[in-house]
Chains A and B, each alone.
Chain A
Amino acid sequence: MKLGGYAGKILIIDLSKEKILTQSLNMAYAKAYIGGKGVGARYMLDYIDPKVDPLSPNNLFMIWSCPANGTIAPSSGKYPVITKSPLTGIWLDSHSGGPIGAELKYAGFDGVIITGKAKEPSYIYIDDGYVDIKKAKHLWGKRISDTRKAVKEELGDPLVKVMCIGPSGEKLIRFANVDSEGRQHGRGGAGAVLGSKNIKAIAVRGTGSVEVAYPEEFMKACEEMNKLDIFENPEAQFGIKWGSIALMWPIQEVGALPTRNYTDGRFEHVASIDANVVLKHSIKRGACFSCPIGCHNYVLIDYGPWAGTLVEGPEYETADLIGANTGTSRFDAIAKANELCDEYGLDTITTGSVVAWSMELFERGLLTLEDTGGLELKFGNAEALVSLIEKIANREGIGDILAEGTRIASQKIGKNSERYAVHVKGLELPAYEPRASPAMGLSYAMADRGGCHLRSWPIGPECLNAYWLGAKPIKLDRWTPENKAIVVVQQEHQYAAKFALGICDFCCWDNQRLTNILWTVTGFDEYRDVRNFELAGERIVNLIRLINVRFGISSKDDKLPVRVYNDPLKTGPAANKVLREEDFEVMKRDYYNIRGWDSEGRPALEKLKELGMDDVLRYVEWG
């Protein structure tokens, strides 16, 4: 059997002991869990102490490449960083389309596991087999793009790829991101973990190559995917023409566009922040590594107080969370806020949600002008939005509390402010309103890293008539809980396996074609069969659930924000709707049953055995 797609080695860096060692990649893990988040999860299970404080030296920060990274498979640039999240205290995998996943493999490594804490500010340099920890005192405090430029200049290599944190990561803001050449590992605060380890940047340069197991068949599979999933796929044209921001129209249409801290599902000023506005300001298009779609817009603001703002974005989630969800209809303010987040290194989704939440508290009188340092935190106040983001990034005044994320901040502020906090397991919700799309509610509650839309996307089949999004065509009635769980489960399998393979969520929702790529790249014979691709997805979901259970997650954490159960939406097709808690519990019970999890939400031993995961049974502490 010929194998491909893997470099075959992993790099382990202990910063405290200043030890660097390489190990062979465990190919049994690769076969069972594909790569990326799958293999990363298997290593995490082996290496992490479940009780570890996310911001302590003993937490792990891992970068994992995926089998398709570095090849010409369509949209195959996605790779994850993996850690225990300081925002949620549970599993975190955060993907980006930067070139580091590919570069790492060109340098000869499938993954990097970083533990410990450097004595002084440092950065890691990986140049093929050579690995060095370099001083970074002069980089500390620098913004993202300045850091990237400085590292490239210092190393004297324009083709070196740099991932780095901004000042937010250094200041341990719990939703600080990690930048990967202009794309962000946004969610969950991986940047703070790097900051806690005194690591400012990781620079990677690889001059090697990636080989696939069956080149001829692989190129055929790529061609087919390019044709059917991109160039002749009507849905993909949205990404090609506008980028993710095109989602704003259909989501507004079905009344699922989070507005003013999740109090409404429609934003009346949507026309001033939608895809047409983005295209009007777009001066250039961009793409992730190896992506033929190219969904990025470089937006330039040439008027008003923020003239000169140049940002890659705003994309859909940003435009909604920082725009509609804070009631901001000024596009220039959203672009500026997006630029600040990217430069300081903040997750735009959580930032938008935190700002929106503080605005609601201010309007309700739970925060006063004194608390906010004179900021009129009213919905729609664009200047206040921009100032508050600066305050958060610098942990200044009220920003110091908000920098902890809504869950911890609401405990600090008290006064029943938790009632208006919109998060699942501490991760703020993205831009699909669960009262307008109840299946999305189930999706958020079950997502491995907390409130996330990228573990399944059932709003497609539920509200948008988009059956192409993974699930087999099951007719869904939007307002009843029936059949929601099976759709979420099927999509979760697909998304888990697809991300582990390294393909973007914007490309291909056909398991057969994804399997073709997986098989031709890796050469594992079992992946000639599409059912084994789905099984690998199921294994990954169960593996990560096992990790989360060890981190303390149980059935009582699989729930939605109080607001979703109680406060009806105001306008749009879902006006006056709530997602009734009893309906949610029906979906959740169905979900556990289909998954083979017990009533505590723990994977049953028989289920793990059935999936062939005997090697993890020793980590199971329940019967």
Chain B
Amino acid sequence: MSSVFVPEKILVIDMDKCTGCERCTLACSFKKSGKFGRTDSRIRVFSWKETGDFIPATCLHCNPAPCQESCGVGAIHRDGKTGAVSIDYKTCINCKACMYACPYGSISIDTQGRVVKCDLCEGQPSCVEACSFNALRFEKPVKAVDKLVMEYVRSLKEAGVSKGPSAPARP
């Protein structure tokens, strides 16, 4: 069995902290095209302003990656250092098969008409740098998981689990 690739850091999307400002979109667009807009961005933010729900959506760098498997010319590869699934434009024939293969719609067409996707900016994602709300983080997987566990544990504590017999039953 081949071993699963464990990247040093992963992109964490924290929807609770997202404010819907779309600065990640703008930063990505600028980094990739030198212009500001949504079409050249590899990340999109979906907003429900009436309830304050904001969801940034981008590539999750699946492993194995359906886009990589779907590519007929082998233009999609995984970066050995960052684990990013990215497109090699020397080989890419722009057939868009990867767009169909992606279960999350994370591959799009930019203003030049090319298929584009997130490549984690060689380990320094510009979307993360632009996010002032810590809704996007680039961190060690174990740290990201620790934070989730911590939140769960805190909710138990707030529910009074640690306070003895009168506490509600453990879920």
Q: Interface residues, chain A, CB within 8 Å of chain B?
A: 70-72, 77, 99, 106, 145, 148-149, 158-159, 181-182, 206-212, 215, 219, 226, 230-231, 283-294, 296, 298, 310, 312
Within 8 A of A (CB), among B5-40: 16-17, 19-23, 26-27, 29-30, 33-40
How far in angstroms is the closest Cβ of chain A from B23?
A: 6
Q: Do A209 and B19 contact each other (CB < 8 Å), given the known contacts A72-B27, A159-B44?
A: no
- Closest partner residue, chain A, to B37 (CB atom): A209
Q: Inside 8 A of B51's CB, which chain A residues have their CB?
A: 298, 310
Q: Is the CB of A210 within 8 A of B52?
A: no
Q: Which B residues touch A71, using CB under 8 A?
A: 26, 36
Partner of B39, one of A209, A215, A296: A209
Residues on A with C-beta less than 8 A from B38 are 106, 159, 206-207
In the complex the two chains form, is A292's CB within 8 Å of B23's CB?
Answer: yes
Residues in A with CB closer than 8 Å to B40 are 209
Contacts of B35 in A (CB 8 A): 209-211
Contact B20 A208 (CB under 8 A): no
Contact assessment for B52 and A284 in the assembled complex, using a CB-CB cutoff below 8 Å: yes
- On chain A, the residues within 8 Å of B155 by CB distance are none
21 sample A-B contacts, Cβ–Cβ < 8 Å, listed by A number: A72-B26, A72-B36, A77-B21, A145-B49, A145-B50, A181-B49, A207-B37, A207-B111, A208-B37, A208-B39, A209-B33, A209-B37, A210-B35, A211-B36, A230-B132, A231-B132, A286-B52, A287-B133, A290-B23, A296-B19, A312-B52
CA A227 to CA B25, docked complex, whole Å: 20
Q: Closest chain B residue to A294 by CB distance?
A: B19
* A312 cross-chain contacts in B, Cβ below 8 A: 49, 52
Cβ-neighbour of B37 out of A70, A149, A287, A289 (below 8 A) = A70
Contact between A182 and B50, CB atoms less than 8 A apart? yes
Which residues of chain B from 86 to 135 have any CB-CB distance to chain A below 8 Å in the complex?
111, 130, 132-133
Tally B residues with Cβ within 8 Å of A.
32
B27 / chain A contacts, CB cutoff of 8 Å: 72
Which residues does chain B contribute within 8 Å of A206, judged by CB atoms? 37-38
Q: Please, which residue of chain B has its CB at the minimum distance from the CB of A343?
A: B50
**A128 CB, min distance to chain B CBs, angstroms:** 10
Chain B residue at minimal CB-CB distance from A292: B132
Q: How far is the CB of B20 from chain A (nearest CB, A)?
A: 6
B58 in contact (CB, < 8 A): no
Q: How far is it, in angstroms, between the C-alpha of A106 and the C-alpha of B111 when the chains are bound?
A: 12
Is the pair A285, B133 in contact by a Cβ cutoff of 8 Å? yes
Q: Complex Cα distance A216/B128, Å?
A: 19
B152 at interface, CB cutoff 8 A:
no
> Hey, which chain B residues are within 8 Å of A181, CB to CB?
47, 49
B138 on interface, CB distance cutoff 8 Å: no
Q: Scan B130-151; emit 1 where CB is below 8 A from any A CB, else 0.
A: 1011000000000000000000
- Set B23, B37, B53, B54: member contacting A106, Cβ < 8 A: B37
Known: A209-B33, A210-B35, A210-B36. A290 touches B26 (CB 8 A): yes
A437 to B39, CA, bound (A): 48
Query: Contact: B50 with A148, CB < 8 Å?
Result: yes
A290 touches B22 (CB 8 A): yes
Q: Which of B20, B29, B47, B130 contacts A209 (CB 8 A)?
A: B29
**Which of A208, A286, A291 counts the most B-chain CB atoms under 10 A from its CB?**
A286
Q: How far is the CA of A289 from the CA of B54 in the complex (A)?
A: 12
20 more A-B residue pairs beyond the given contacts A181-B49, A284-B53, with a C-beta to C-beta distance below 8 A: A70-B26, A70-B37, A71-B26, A106-B37, A106-B38, A145-B49, A148-B50, A182-B50, A207-B39, A209-B36, A209-B39, A209-B111, A283-B52, A284-B16, A285-B17, A285-B52, A285-B133, A286-B54, A291-B23, A296-B19
Chain A contacts for B54, CB-based, 8 A: 286
Q: Tell me, rounded to whole Å, the shortest Cβ–Cβ distance linking B90 to chain A.
A: 25
- Complex contacts, A288 vs chain B, CB 8 Å: 21
Given A209-B29, A294-B132, are A70 and B21 also a contact pair (CB < 8 Å)? no
When chains A and B are docked, how far (Å) is the Cα of A288 from the Cα of B22?
9
Which residue of chain B has the shortest Cβ distance to A106 in the bound complex?
B37
User: Known contacts A71-B36, A72-B30; is A298 also within 8 Å of B52 by CB?
Assistant: yes
- Give the chain A neighbours of B20 by CB distance below 8 A: 286-287
Residues in A whose Cβ lies below 8 Å from that of B19: 285-287, 294, 296
Residues of B35-84 whose CB lies within 8 A of A: 35-40, 44, 46-47, 49-54
B162 to chain A, nearest CB (A): 24
User: Within 8 Å CB of B44, what residues of A?
Assistant: 159
Q: Which B residues touch A148, using CB under 8 A?
A: 49-50
A280 CB to nearest chain B CB (Å): 15
The chain B residue sitting closest to A71, CB to CB, is: B36
Q: Provide the residues of chain B in CB contact with A230, threshold 8 Å.
A: 132
* Complex CA–CA separation, A145 to B111 (angstroms): 31
Closest to B29 in A: A209
CB neighbours of B132 from chain A (8 A): 226, 230-231, 292-294
Cβ-closest chain B residue relative to A144: B50
Closest to A205 in B: B38
Task: Find chain A residues with CB under 8 A from B21 CB.
Answer: 77, 287-292, 294
Contact status B52-A158, CB under 8 Å: no
A336 to B: closest C-beta gap in Å: 15
Counting chain A CB atoms within 10 Å of each CB, which of B40, B44, B52 scores highest?
B52
Q: Which residues on the B side are within 8 Å of A310 (C-beta)?
A: 50-52
Minimal beta-carbon separation of A512 from chain B (angstroms): 23
In the complex, which residues of chain B have a beta carbon less than 8 angstroms from the beta carbon of A291? 21, 23
Instruction: For the complex, give the distance between the alpha carbons of A308 and B23 in Å.
Output: 31
Assembly CA distance A149 to B50 (angstroms): 10
Which A residues are in CB contact (< 8 Å) with B47?
181
Cα of A289 to Cα of B39 in the assembled complex, Å: 16
B31, chain A: closest CB distance, angstroms: 10
Q: A294 is contacted by which of B29, B53, B111, B133 (Cβ under 8 Å)?
A: B133
- Assembly CA distance A167 to B132 (angstroms): 37
Q: How many angstroms from the CA of A293 to the CA of B21 in the assembled complex?
A: 9
A458 CA to B50 CA, complexed, in Å: 34
In the complex, what distance in Å separates the CA atom of A71 from the CA atom of B35?
8
Distance, CA A480 to CA B17, complexed state (A):
47
Measured between beta carbons, the chain B residues less than 8 angstroms from A145 are 49-50
